[in-house]
Amino acid sequence: AASDVYKRQLFVNLILTHAERVITDVKNNQIPDQLLLMLLGTAGTGKTFTVRTAISELTKLVTLTNNVRLNPS
């Protein structure tokens, strides 16, 4: 549905905007702010998958951009 496409695009935009801020902070030797999100859904809707994928992609992006390795806790 169009609503789902919009929601996905909004999520991607949030993640990419945060990634840009993280990269800028790392380049400036500053500690990046946390991205706090609340993902809601019943069991099996992909919440854990979404979070793991976002962390993985952010880590790859920051590593490639800055040659810095982040270790998410």
Instruction: Please tell me the predicted confidence (pLDDT) of residue 31.
Output: 92
Instruction: Please tell me the predicted confidence (pLDDT) of residue 71.
Output: 56
| Residue 32 · residue 72 · CB < 8 Å | no
Enumerate residues 6+ apart whose C-beta is below 8 A from 68. 26, 62
Enumerate residues 6+ apart whose C-beta is below 8 A from 9. none
| Residue 20 · residue 12 · CB < 8 Å | no
User: What is the identity of the amino acid at 1?
Assistant: A
Instruction: Please tell me the predicted confidence (pLDDT) of residue 30.
Output: 92
Q: What is the pTM of this model?
A: 0.64
User: Would you give per-residue pLDDT tens digits along the chain (73 residues)?
Assistant: 778 888 888 888 888 888 888 888 888 889 989 989 898 999 998 888 888 888 887 788 777 776 655 555 5
